[in-house]
């Protein structure tokens, strides 16, 4: 297994749409395991293949902060089959450094995917798991959480980030509690 580089905004590859996985083979399984290792090392609770420069519809999640590695999700070709309600959640992202914002999401979702053994799974989710699923599926569709906030907030962050990159200023080392 290997720790992969996580792409950072404004890398244009983050806006690419991932393609469905046609065959689960050794390369796909290796990618899934590398993504998990990368997510834990970051540290984060979710990671989409787009974030590591692989444009396959794959996400990994582990939102159980009390028992890490006990409730791991490895989802291939995930889709949101149903959503309901509304929740406002403070989101951060491994690809969007030094910024969090409240994002409006569905409060409950049902996600359908296949696992690494090509078995179909359905996940009924609420709370952090529902938010993380939606956040990661957005990545697969080429969207970041900052695409869901006001244009003013997004523009302010974009200018700040570009200045950081231009001047070589590193982001602060303090991170929010949960990075999706």
CB 114 within 8 A of CB 77: yes
Helix or strand run (H / E) with residue 54? none
Active-site choice (91, 116, 118, 136)? 136
CB 83 within 8 A of CB 108: yes
d(CA 78, CA 71): 17
136 a catalytic residue: yes
Rounded (5°) CA angle 158-177-97: 20
CB 60 within 8 A of CB 45: no
Radius of gyration of the chain (CA): 16
Catalytic residues, which ones? 136
């Amino acid at each position: 297994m290997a720790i992969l580089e996580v792409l950072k905004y404004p890398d244009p590859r983050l806006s690419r749409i991932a393609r469905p996985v046609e065959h689960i083979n050794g390369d796909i399984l290796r990618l899934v395991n590398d993504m998990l290792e990368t997510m834990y090392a970051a540290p984060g609770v979710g990671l989409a293949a787009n974030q590591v420069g692989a444009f396959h519809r794959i996400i990994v999640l582990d939102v159980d902060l009390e028992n890490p590695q006990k409730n791991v999700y490895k989802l291939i070709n995930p889709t949101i089959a149903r959503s309901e309600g509304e929740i406002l959640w403070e989101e951060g992202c491994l690809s969007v450094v030094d910024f969090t914002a409240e994002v409006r999401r569905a409060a409950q979702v049902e996600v359908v995917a296949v696992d690494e053994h090509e078995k179909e799974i359905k996940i009924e989710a609420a709370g952090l798991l529902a938010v993380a699923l939606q956040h990661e599926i957005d990545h697969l569709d080429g969207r970041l959480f900052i695409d869901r906030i006001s244009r003013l907030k997004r523009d302010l962050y974009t200018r700040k980030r570009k200045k950081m990159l231009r001047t070589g200023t590193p982001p602060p080392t303090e991170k929010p509690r949960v990075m999706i």
